[in-house]
Amino acid sequence: MKNNKSVNRAEKRKMEKINKNKKLMRMAILSVIAVIAVGGIVFIGMSMGNNEVDDDKIIEDTSITSTEGQILIPVSDIGKTAKFYSYETNGIEIKYFLVKGNDDIIRAAFDACDVCYDAKKGYRQDLDVMTCLNCGLTFPINELGDTNTGGGCWPSYLPLNIDGDNIIIEISDLEDKTFMF
């Protein structure tokens, strides 16, 4: 009889241990699922946040003047830190930037990429490069100001002329890119 009771107790302890291990395994699995779910929610939230345009970089500059068909920006306003501007036409805000390279040449580009413009994210400056806020590619400021010949991501070209103390941007050049915005 003693043996039967010992065997029953041993089996009972074994079953309790198995059940305890099953409970621990379920808790571990649920914990992993919870961590993955929270991580996914955080990732989605961050991704959605990255879709927002950084409106802080748009500068409303009173030194800009507009003449018939042209925007005039004083050359003295442009330095090695990109200045972002916008021009509104037919309810569409067209965004662009001007920046002086290390070679002291002023460049202009749309705040939109030839490829990534659908994302509506634009660029930010990181020292001497402009970084696409959609794909993360970087472009040396000294190389901006040309048309895109490679067909990939590139700050969309915005022609400019310099006449004395003013940078001249043709409004028609801005309006040609309304589809990007």
Pairing of strands 65-67, 70-74: antiparallel
Q: Quick check: helix, strand or coil at residue 51?
A: coil
State the pLDDT at residue 169. Answer: 95
Q: Are residues 86 and 156 in the same domain?
A: yes
Residues of the chain scoring pLDDT < 70 = 1-7, 28, 30, 32-66, 146-152
Q: Are residues 18 and 62 in the same domain?
A: no
Look up the CATH number of the domain holding residue 147.
Answer: 2.102.10
- CB distance 64 to 78 below 8 Å: no
State the pLDDT at residue 78. Answer: 94
Structure tokens at 56: 């802080």
Q: Are residues 121 and 147 in the same domain?
A: yes
Residue 170's beta-bridge partner residues? Answer: 70
Domain holding 12, by residue range, is 1-50
69 secondary structure, DSSP code:
T
State the pLDDT at residue 115. Answer: 80
pLDDT tens by residue, 41-91: 544 444 444 434 444 455 555 556 667 889 999 999 999 999 999 999 899
Closest CA to 61 of 40, 45, 37, 77: 77
Transcribe 99-130 into DSSP letters: EE-TTS-EEEEEEEETTTGGG---EEEETTEE
Closest CA to 110 of 128, 77, 87: 87
State the pLDDT at residue 55. Answer: 47
State the pLDDT at residue 47. Answer: 43
Q: Are residues 67 and 154 in the same domain?
A: yes
Q: How many domains does the chain have?
A: 2
pTM for the model stands at 0.64
Q: Are residues 118 and 149 in the same domain?
A: yes
State the pLDDT at residue 150. Answer: 63
Q: Are residues 120 and 40 in the same domain?
A: no
Q: What does the buried/exposed string (b/e) look like for 120-137 if buried means 16 or more CB atoms within 10 Å of the residue's CB?
A: bbbbbbeeebbbbbbeeb
Distance CA 37, CA 78 (A): 47
